[in-house]
Structure 1
Amino acid sequence: MRDPFRLLLCLCLCSPVAAAVAAARAGERAPEPAPDPAFARVLARWDGDARADLQAVVVLRDGAVVAERYYNGADAQSLHDIRSAGKSVTALLAGIAADQGRLRFEQAATRCLPDARGRALAGVRVSDLLSMRSGLDADDDRAESPGNEDRLDQAADPVAFALSVPRREAPGTRYAYNSLTAYLVGLCVEGASGQPLDDFARQHLFAPLGIDHWRWQRDAGGHAKGQGNLSLRARDFARIGQMALDGGAWQGHAIVRADTLRAILAPRVRIAAVDPYADDYGWFWYRRTQHVGGRAIEVVFASGNGGNKLYLVPALRMVVAIQSSAYGRGYGQRRSQDILRALLAAAALSDGTATAR
């Protein structure tokens, strides 16, 4: 598979807009690009959506906002729960902890979760948790699963509950979407860093990105929920995506090492047979090749219930952040994909940089 970030680098070197953005990041003043009317027309299509639960769409190209629109009473200052897209943020935090030498992806999870020794987690690697192949009996699509998300949310002691979930199969053998493993990765970052997850996020991710207004829900035990329930403003959500698109860097400073970020985003498991919106799963990040206008465009993304999406499109130097409150409604995911595909079509037509595979 082609390395999308190497392709991105080549494209950015040829882009005058990117040069202006780079100059601004180096301390020189550069004018904010004018809004793109083609993107604005795309976003206006959803103004009259009768379902009234789309909240925001922000589009970045070459690091600059080229379109944004707010719906149904939301505005640029609104905090919005991105649900399971927060799992992708947890993966970035695990990467930062790895960069600091506090954990290793291939280490046993019990090294950062010592209370799990002698339990079903024995023999499970951190990477198994990140790819949802822990072997634990945790499956959010099966209500009867002992580690189902609803049972975790209802537990009076979520940590004890998570550590008590039995094993179903050998670690690393089967993908099963669940929130329990993301919760465990959050606990692992806490154990490795010696800090609450949200404090670690504030210090090492949000503050360096200039994100100063956010909220991360804590569970009954006082732990930030690594599986989701992180609330962000739409532009800040997009800012996280831009950092990831830029290989882990922000304004010339590495937030996540480039090689660590590549490991997080790399496709690990083929999931097209069980997920209609994705081809592959990495470490709490997804990939899909979108076929638009006869072109194949690779998209890496974070995904949350209700249509909350953070799309990275390396070939078009584009980030799309979508916030939606269609929780538990299937149309939310379809609508966000429709918005993405319309934006991809507009971008591909405007500059012809999308490449076929």
Structure 2
Amino acid sequence: MHDQFSRFTILGAGLVLALSISATHLRAESTPPGQQGQACGSPSSIDDGWEIASPDNVGMDGAQLCTIAARLTQRSTAVHSIVVVRHGKLVFEQYFPGYDQPWGQPDGQYKFNATTKHDMRSASKSVTSLLVGIAIDRKLIAGVDEPVLKFFPDYAAVKQPGWDAITLRHLLTMSSGFKWDEARDWTDPKNDEPHLLTEPDPLGYVLSRPIAAPPDTLWAYSGGSTELLGNIVERASKTSLEAFAREVLFQPLGITDVEWKNYKNGKLAAAAGLRLRPRDAAKIGQLVLNRGQWNGQQIVSADWIAQSITPRFQAVGYFGGTLFYGYQWWMGRSLAGGREINWVAAFGWGGQRIFIVPELDFVMMTTASQYGQPKEGLAAVDILTNIVIPSVRDAH
């Protein structure tokens, strides 16, 4: 599951800073403009729709949150941002310079702040799932049990035996059963994922895959499934996925600085191409936490959120630990203070994470450049489990 579509080789990710740099200096480097002299991690006011509060005012230990930078330095993690939201209020943000591989830009050293967009990579899949839900809410799609091939009559010639049984629900849960393997090295000819980049007609490539197992019997991570979902939304809404997303999701959330990148073949990358500010990505998490509401407006139905974050399959072989999969959303747990805390998450290659913790009413978002690293994303789980969850003081 690499989703590094802009490359054919994985370049080693650099460290955020040399180990000799102190945590104090790291915090100074990462302080956004206008934030000098403020408390560590105090969010900037940039008129993006977030109400800002101090951690102490929402039942969190601000001093404990301020140990994040030192812990990241100790572990030499290539993390670029940490954003924390509690009780619907933005309470903490820190940004760190470092190496990155931004889509469509040169690899190299970058500085990040509250207004810097970052690749979301496969966290884009979770956003695409929300768009499917909105299309269903608006009666543009009848439901998740609609046959996939109903939306692709122009591809009848490439249909393989068994595809008639595949529905949108199977695409959403990665249980379609069509043959797909993207766990291999990017340069491996048996890796299906690069075909989304290189094929003149990537949809035709996906739809021509042979069936390896009946639907609902085999979970296999598949960017091809998400590409089909994105195109289904386009065909049902009669507009581009990006335009639909702007109208029904981003604008209601007050997200104005957004990109959704295309593959080199010109096709929108529904599975991996989204670029957002971390604070805006945290809005996606808050939307899920609020059961589809933002500022009192129901953007996506509460039922769709509930269905999306219901565990459907165990995600065997991905990211370690016990993870479950819903409608393009991950579910897991952390052990903190002797308690198991359940969470929902969007995962993107390289360490992009949106964690939603319903029982503690907070969202944590991270961006990073841990591309191709064996422990990719574990820094975010470490910060979540050992700092942010324990910082909550009013939990019961």
- TM-score tier (shorter): 0.7 to 0.9
Cα offset for 1:40?
3.0
Cα offset for 1:271?
2.3
In terms of fraction of residues, the more helix-rich structure is: 1
SS in 2 for 1:332: coil
For residue 149 of structure 1, the aligned residue among 193, 198, 210 is 193
Which residue number in structure 1 is paired with residue 395 of structure 2?
Answer: 352
Question: Would you say 1:123 and 2:165 are equivalent positions?
Answer: yes
Structure 1 residues 146-183: Cα deviation after superposition (integer angstroms, max 9, x where no partner):
67212222223222222222221212210011211111
Which residue number in structure 2 is paired with residue 230 of structure 1?
Answer: 274
Partner amino acid, structure 2, of 1:112: F
SS in 1 for 2:165: coil
For the 8 Å contact 2:81–2:96, the answer to whether it is kept is yes
> Relative to structure 1, is the Cα distance of residues 117 and 223 closer, same or farther in structure 2, using a 3 angstrom cutoff?
same
With 312-321 and 112-121 compared, the bigger mean Cα shift is at: 112-121
Structure 1 residues 82-113: Cα deviation after superposition (integer angstroms, max 9, x where no partner):
11011000000000001011111111012223
For the 8 Å contact 2:199–2:265, the answer to whether it is kept is no
For residue 295 of structure 2, the aligned residue among 239, 251, 272 is 251
Which residue number in structure 2 is paired with residue 321 of structure 1?
Answer: 365
Cα offset for 1:344?
4.0
For the 8 Å contact 1:113–1:187, the answer to whether it is kept is no
Q: TM-score if structure 2 supplies the norm length? A: 0.77
Question: Would you say 1:109 and 2:152 are equivalent positions?
Answer: no
SS in 2 for 1:122: helix
Q: Which runs of 4+ in 1 moved over 4 A?
A: 49-52, 142-147, 272-275
Measure, in 2, the Cα distance between the counterparts of 1:45 and 1:57: 13
Which residue number in structure 1 is paired with residue 340 of structure 2?
Answer: 296
Q: What are the ranges of 5 or more consecutive residues in structure 1 without an aligned counterpart?
A: 1-29
Which residue number in structure 2 is paired with residue 10 of structure 1?
Answer: none
Partner amino acid, structure 1, of 2:304: T
Cα offset for 1:142?
4.2
Partner amino acid, structure 2, of 1:94: V
Cα offset for 1:31?
7.7
Cα offset for 1:44?
2.2
Which residue number in structure 1 is paired with residue 128 of structure 2?
Answer: 90
Cα offset for 1:135?
1.1
Measure, in 1, the Cα distance between the counterparts of 2:51 and 2:210: 57
With 220-229 and 285-294 compared, the bigger mean Cα shift is at: 220-229
Structure 1 residues 17-62: Cα deviation after superposition (integer angstroms, max 9, x where no partner):
xxxxxxxxxxxxx984224523532322246368563111100001
With 137-146 and 61-70 compared, the bigger mean Cα shift is at: 137-146
For the 8 Å contact 2:95–2:112, the answer to whether it is kept is yes
SS in 2 for 1:302: strand
Which residue number in structure 2 is paired with residue 34 of structure 1?
Answer: 54
Measure, in 1, the Cα distance between the counterparts of 2:225 and 2:190: 13
Question: Would you say 1:160 and 2:204 are equivalent positions?
Answer: yes
> Relative to structure 1, is the Cα distance of residues 99 and 202 closer, same or farther in structure 2, using a 3 angstrom cutoff?
same
With 150-159 and 45-54 compared, the bigger mean Cα shift is at: 45-54
- Alpha-carbon RMSD across the aligned residues, in angstroms, is 2.1
Q: What are the ranges of 5 or more consecutive residues in structure 2 without an aligned counterpart?
A: 1-49, 57-61, 98-110
With 92-101 and 219-228 compared, the bigger mean Cα shift is at: 219-228
Which residue number in structure 1 is paired with residue 114 of structure 2?
Answer: 76
> Relative to structure 1, is the Cα distance of residues 253 and 282 closer, same or farther in structure 2, using a 3 angstrom cutoff?
same
Measure, in 1, the Cα distance between the counterparts of 2:255 and 2:151: 28
Measure, in 1, the Cα distance between the counterparts of 2:127 and 2:345: 11
Measure, in 1, the Cα distance between the counterparts of 2:91 and 2:191: 42
> Relative to structure 1, is the Cα distance of residues 55 and 296 closer, same or farther in structure 2, using a 3 angstrom cutoff?
same
SS in 2 for 1:343: helix
Aligned residues: 323
For the 8 Å contact 1:146–1:166, the answer to whether it is kept is no
For residue 174 of structure 2, the aligned residue among 107, 132, 137 is 132
Structure 1 residues 313-353: Cα deviation after superposition (integer angstroms, max 9, x where no partner):
001100001011211212331111111112344234x2233
Structure 1 residues 247-297: Cα deviation after superposition (integer angstroms, max 9, x where no partner):
000011111000111111111012256541442100110111211111011
Partner amino acid, structure 1, of 2:390: A
For the 8 Å contact 1:312–1:318, the answer to whether it is kept is yes
Measure, in 1, the Cα distance between the counterparts of 2:362 and 2:73: 26
